[in-house]
């Protein structure tokens, strides 16, 4: 049953994508405006449904079957959540069109022109948990970039997301875009079936916990864009400035500990173990960070003059597994190493290739670190927390990818486009390959300066 | 056994890749020169080994266990094959370095700079069949782009490829690049084990038959770059010029019928069934092409005035499966449709999203076709055979991808690189995220004009 439903949905999505290719991009911007209007007009009704989701969730929390924090993420009425969701649609609508721009253009022969043009990927399958506003956020990104999408939210927010989806459909219906451009599915069985349909679905984007992402990566041949882990490190080089070290380590760890770009490991060059580390350790302890230390760094902390009150409770000996654990809390694993080279090797072996930062006054160390560390982000004297699509200036964030293929690091709208090659012959008799070769015509390969396709 | 060997090899490849990141790109160019020298110095010995492979293959052919054409592909001594393999190394060495170039640079705040820099992907697993020169070709591309690689050739050419691999190792040993930068494996069991090791291997590139590519796509979670099918179409629009139609259809079909960019389907707008099609059909029959026609196009061919001699042998009624068959020979499937829109839908449903061409005098039809057809290449009045990395001007071809993620269509060296973000704070106290936000600092996002990283 789920199989045939899923097949129908996926096929309809592909059909919608293909049919949308001849509709101008302006219609997609119009769709976003219509969706925002429908949402705002139905705000009361949607927030009522959201309250029912919250009530049901509260019972689950009381029965011990749901965490308090998950329940909180369901709440769409809290603070400025609704307004920022609604404003987000217009913000995405206002971004530059990621499709139709030329990244390579060449005249292969007199009158034979080649253009590499950005275009949507096709059909996206987006799977997320809990937070209901993600359905609107992702639908906006898909529509703006010209992709059809199939969305699956968490069952905990089903009353809310079903009304949000209805609003999206109603908005779409006011445009010439196909009705099945954005579809939603409700059950895990449908998702399992959809993950088999690589003839219709071109990219899977999981937004949620590590285990969600891992499960999906393990069960589909469709490319997956997402990050399985955020295990970031800060390295204090032998020339590290103490003020920079304190600011960057504390910010990387404490600014938002449950984010994927928060630091989980601190690596100390042994040359600064007795100079920089004591001040950094004290600052971390004062910020309520628990330290899992190797023997060398532990000894220094234990001998701090006028030790902080909470010392014994907050400083522990680390285990090997400490350095491969994504704490996502106010806990930091600390290790001492004897060189920049060892630090690079340690990071490459233990980090999740997300974002790693060096604190150093040496240009040479900075350069070595940035090239030697094999991560999506390699930073010098800056907090790992800067790894973010908005902070990078992309105007939005589709996600952060720890994959290396297609998109890496924070991903903006351009992560939702690919390219195609358009070629045009303007010659009297068209162009054929048989006219080129030894003793015949030769290719010109003359660069054409343009950002758009002229036909 | 194969499992632990494969693990060792994959781990060594990752280690080699990581260690090579601090070695300048000039050393990779030097490695290519050294490899060419070693190969040329050992030409006689390698060609002797190749003769043994050929002798063994001849016995297989005589016993009916190998095809004549596969045996021919093993021959490294034929014509200018050696010289072009050898020259190919220098050609790749001379291409621009695909790594280290900046595609996005932005000042996020005073003194906080972000650079998106191209860099190698990591460890490539390249699996190919029969033709022994591919080992040299692929090793050159991997080395030039800074990737470590594990290569697996066909067992039919094992004597040759083992000497070619030895030459590559000897060449590499004359540089500071790690010894395990390029490794070769011999058995299928090793490949099966390697396909499991996504913690070490970043991209799989199969070069060979469709069934090889399909098998690999079905048995790994590692991203695969390759094309499973080359099912290209030519569409004769209602405004098609007859001379262009003849030239483009004949070239697309007959220039190299076994290539993936050869046309397999011809779609005729019904408006030109009695005007353009008769001349095109006659030209195809004169070029010895067998036509699998739908009833409408068949009737026209059957009523050709002064019909070609071979008419009945070379014209047959098509079946539904004709239009999803990659003939790879002088056979063309022909169908008549009533509109450009139907042709676009037919291509999207039947072609392999590789390359499709329209013959038209209408700018509007050209534009609709190029946007509506969801393929890596959409051409106007040009042969599908132009879909090729060298013809596109990339200087080399890593392969042709029918995937949409990462690389699409003919892939040059840039298909072997990804990017990373490097960030540097030049401020007195480093940069932290906690200083930005409502009532605090705002991001500048000011574009930096540069192609290289200044540190």
CA distances from B216 to A9, A221, B43 (A): 28, 11, 33
Q: Angle between the B277-286 and B242-254 helix axes, to the nearest 10 degrees? A: 30
Asked whether residue B378 carries a pLDDT value surpassing 90, the answer given is yes
CA distances from B360 to A1, A275, B245, B270, B356 (A): 45, 75, 9, 14, 13
In this complex, which of A218, A344, A376 lies closest to B421 when CB atoms are compared?
Answer: A376
In this complex, which of A359, A418, A432 lies closest to B404 when CB atoms are compared?
Answer: A418
Nearest-Cα distance to chain A for B183, in Å, is: 21
A 367-386 near B (Cβ less than 8 A) = 367-368, 370-372, 374-383, 385-386
Q: Single out the residue of A260, A228, A49 nearest to residue A156, CA to CA.
A: A49
Q: What is the mean pLDDT of chain A?
A: 94
Structure tokens at B367: 């534009």
What is the predicted pLDDT for the residue at B433?
Answer: 97
User: What average pLDDT does range B247-255 have in this prediction?
Assistant: 98
CA distances from A5 to A1, A194, A254 (A): 6, 9, 46
What is the predicted pLDDT for the residue at B282?
Answer: 96
Hey, is A109 helix, strand or coil?
strand
Provide the 10 A C-beta neighbour count for residue B67.
Answer: 12
- Taking the Cβ of residue A440 and every Cβ of chain B, the question of whether any pair is shorter than 8 Å is answered with no
B 132-161 near A (Cβ less than 8 A) = none
Mutation to test the A interface, candidates B421, B441, B455, most A Cβ within 10 Å: B421
- Taking the Cβ of residue B25 and every Cβ of chain A, the question of whether any pair is shorter than 8 Å is answered with no
Asked whether residue B1 carries a pLDDT value surpassing 60, the answer given is no
Q: Percentage of chain B surpassing pLDDT 70?
A: 99
- Taking the Cβ of residue B112 and every Cβ of chain A, the question of whether any pair is shorter than 8 Å is answered with yes
Provide the 10 A C-beta neighbour count for residue B72.
Answer: 14
Q: CB distance B202–A408 less than 8 Å? A: no
Q: CB distance B363–A455 less than 8 Å? A: yes
Strand partners, A331: A290
User: What average pLDDT does range A76-82 have in this prediction?
Assistant: 92
Alpha helices in B287-434 (DSSP H): 295-302, 311-314, 340-350, 363-372, 389-392
- Taking the Cβ of residue A221 and every Cβ of chain B, the question of whether any pair is shorter than 8 Å is answered with yes
| pLDDT digits 0-9 by tens, B298-338 | 999 999 998 888 788 999 999 999 999 999 999 999 999 99
What is the predicted pLDDT for the residue at B38?
Answer: 98
- Taking the Cβ of residue B408 and every Cβ of chain A, the question of whether any pair is shorter than 8 Å is answered with yes
Q: CB distance B383–A431 less than 8 Å? A: yes
The verdict on ipTM greater than 0.90 is: yes
| pLDDT digits 0-9 by tens, B433-448 | 999 998 999 999 999 9
Could you identify the residue written with the tokens 């999981």? Answer: A206
| pLDDT digits 0-9 by tens, A371-422 | 999 999 999 999 999 999 999 999 988 889 988 999 999 999 999 999 999 9
Hey, is A276 helix, strand or coil?
coil
Asked whether residue B357 carries a pLDDT value surpassing 70, the answer given is yes
Q: CB distance B433–A372 less than 8 Å? A: no
In this complex, which of A367, A391, A404 lies closest to B121 when CB atoms are compared?
Answer: A404
Q: Single out the residue of B327, B297, B336 nearest to residue B315, CA to CA.
A: B297
User: A370 with B119: CB under 8 angstroms?
Assistant: no
pLDDT tier, B451 (very low <50, low <70, confident <90, very high otherwise):
very high
User: What average pLDDT does range B150-178 have in this prediction?
Assistant: 94
Structure tokens at A104: 């390579």
Asked whether residue A435 carries a pLDDT value surpassing 90, the answer given is yes
CA–CA separation, B130 vs A114, rounded Å? 33
In this complex, which of B108, B372, B375 lies closest to A393 when CB atoms are compared?
Answer: B108
| pLDDT digits 0-9 by tens, A87-109 | 999 999 999 999 999 999 999 99
CA–CA separation, A41 vs A91, rounded Å? 19
What is the predicted pLDDT for the residue at A217?
Answer: 82
- Taking the Cβ of residue A128 and every Cβ of chain B, the question of whether any pair is shorter than 8 Å is answered with no
CA–CA separation, A34 vs A38, rounded Å? 6
Q: Single out the residue of B455, B375, B411, B445 nearest to residue B145, CA to CA.
A: B411
CA–CA separation, B110 vs B86, rounded Å? 51
What is the predicted pLDDT for the residue at A18?
Answer: 96
What is the predicted pLDDT for the residue at B261?
Answer: 95
Q: CB distance B431–A348 less than 8 Å? A: no
In this complex, which of B244, B366, B422 lies closest to A424 when CB atoms are compared?
Answer: B366
CA–CA separation, B42 vs B46, rounded Å? 6
- Taking the Cβ of residue B233 and every Cβ of chain A, the question of whether any pair is shorter than 8 Å is answered with no
Asked whether residue B2 carries a pLDDT value surpassing 70, the answer given is no
Enumerate residues 6+ apart whose C-beta is below 8 A from B346.
Answer: B233, B267, B323, B335, B337
pLDDT tier, A2 (very low <50, low <70, confident <90, very high otherwise):
low
Contacts of A248 in chain B (CB under 8 A): 430-432
Q: Single out the residue of A134, A149, A139, A136 nearest to residue A204, CA to CA.
A: A149
Nearest-Cα distance to chain A for B120, in Å, is: 9
* All domains in chain A, ordered by first residue: 2-217 (3.40.605.10), 232-390 (3.40.309.10)
Q: Percentage of chain A surpassing pLDDT 90?
A: 84
| pLDDT digits 0-9 by tens, B263-295 | 999 999 999 999 999 999 999 999 999 999 999
Q: CB distance B420–A202 less than 8 Å? A: no
Mutation to test the B interface, candidates A241, A395, A433, A443, most B Cβ within 10 Å: A433
Contacts of B345 in chain A (CB under 8 A): 18
Q: CB distance A418–B408 less than 8 Å? A: yes
CA–CA separation, A41 vs B127, rounded Å? 57
In this complex, which of B377, B418, B431 lies closest to A420 when CB atoms are compared?
Answer: B377
User: B233 with B219: CB under 8 angstroms?
Assistant: no
Q: What is the mean pLDDT of chain B?
A: 94
User: What average pLDDT does range B190-205 have in this prediction?
Assistant: 94
pLDDT tier, B256 (very low <50, low <70, confident <90, very high otherwise):
very high
Q: CB distance B385–A17 less than 8 Å? A: no
Write phi, then psi, for A59 (nearest 5 degrees).
Answer: -60, -40
CA–CA separation, B261 vs A85, rounded Å? 46
CA–CA separation, B355 vs B167, rounded Å? 38
User: B379: nearest CA in chain A?
Assistant: A423
CA distances from B77 to B45, B49, B152 (A): 12, 11, 21
CA–CA separation, B99 vs B22, rounded Å? 13
User: B340 with B363: CB under 8 angstroms?
Assistant: no
Q: Single out the residue of A17, A342, A400 nearest to residue A200, CA to CA.
A: A17
- Taking the Cβ of residue A170 and every Cβ of chain B, the question of whether any pair is shorter than 8 Å is answered with no
Q: Give the distance, in angstroms, between the CA of residue A96 and the centroid of all CA atoms in the same chain.
A: 19
CA–CA separation, A269 vs A340, rounded Å? 7
């Amino acid at each position: 049953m789920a199989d045939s439903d899923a097949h129908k949905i996926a096929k309809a999505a592909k059909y919608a994508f293909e049919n949308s290719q001849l509709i101008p991009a302006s219609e997609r911007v119009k769709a976003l405006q219509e969706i925002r209007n429908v949402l705002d007009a139905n705000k009361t009704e949607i927030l009522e449904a959201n309250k029912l989701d919250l009530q049901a969730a509260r019972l689950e929390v009381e029965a011990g079957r749901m965490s308090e924090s998950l329940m909180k993420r369901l709440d769409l009425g809290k603070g400025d959540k609704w307004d920022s969701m609604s404003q987000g649609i217009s913000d995405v609508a206002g971004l530059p069109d990621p499709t139709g721009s030329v990244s390579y253009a060449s005249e292969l022969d007199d009158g034979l022109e080649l253009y590499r043009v950005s275009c949507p990927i096709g059909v996206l399958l987006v799977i997320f948990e809990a937070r209901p506003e993600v359905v609107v956020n992702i639908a906006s990104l898909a529509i703006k970039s010209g992709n059809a999408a199939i969305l699956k939210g968490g069952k905990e927010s089903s009353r809310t997301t079903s009304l949000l989806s209805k609003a999206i459909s109603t908005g779409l219906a006011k445009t010439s875009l196909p009705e099945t451009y954005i579809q939603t599915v409700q059950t895990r069985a449908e998702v399992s079936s959809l993950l088999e349909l690589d003839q219709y679905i071109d990219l899977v984007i999981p937004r949620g916990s590590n285990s969600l992402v891992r499960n999906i990566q393990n069960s589909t041949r469709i490319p997956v864009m997402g990050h399985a882990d955020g295990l970031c490190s800060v390295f204090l080089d032998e020339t590290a400035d103490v003020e920079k070290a304190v600011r960057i380590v504390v910010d990387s760890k404490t600014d938002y500990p449950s984010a994927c770009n928060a630091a989980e490991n601190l690596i100390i060059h042994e040359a600064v173990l007795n100079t920089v580390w004591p001040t950094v350790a004290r600052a971390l302890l004062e910020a309520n960070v628990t330290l899992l230390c190797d023997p060398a760094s532990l000894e220094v902390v234990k001998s701090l003059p006028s030790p902080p009150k909470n010392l014994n409770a907050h400083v522990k000996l680390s285990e090997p597994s400490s350095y491969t654990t994504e704490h996502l809390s106010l806990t930091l694993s600390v290790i001492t190493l004897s060189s920049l080279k060892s630090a690079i090797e340690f990071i490459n072996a233990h980090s999740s290739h997300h974002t790693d930062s060096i604190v150093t006054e040496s240009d040479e160390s900075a350069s070595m670190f940035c090239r030697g560390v094999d991560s999506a982000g390699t930073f010098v004297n800056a907090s790992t927390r800067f790894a973010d699509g908005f902070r990078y200036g992309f105007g939005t964030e589709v996600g952060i990818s720890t994959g290396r293929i297609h998109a890496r690091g924070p991903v903006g709208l351009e992560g939702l486009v690919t390219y195609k090659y358009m070629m045009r012959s303007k010659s009297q008799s068209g162009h054929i390959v048989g006219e080129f070769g030894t003793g015949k015509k030769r290719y010109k390969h003359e660069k054409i300066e343009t950002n758009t396709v002229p036909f």
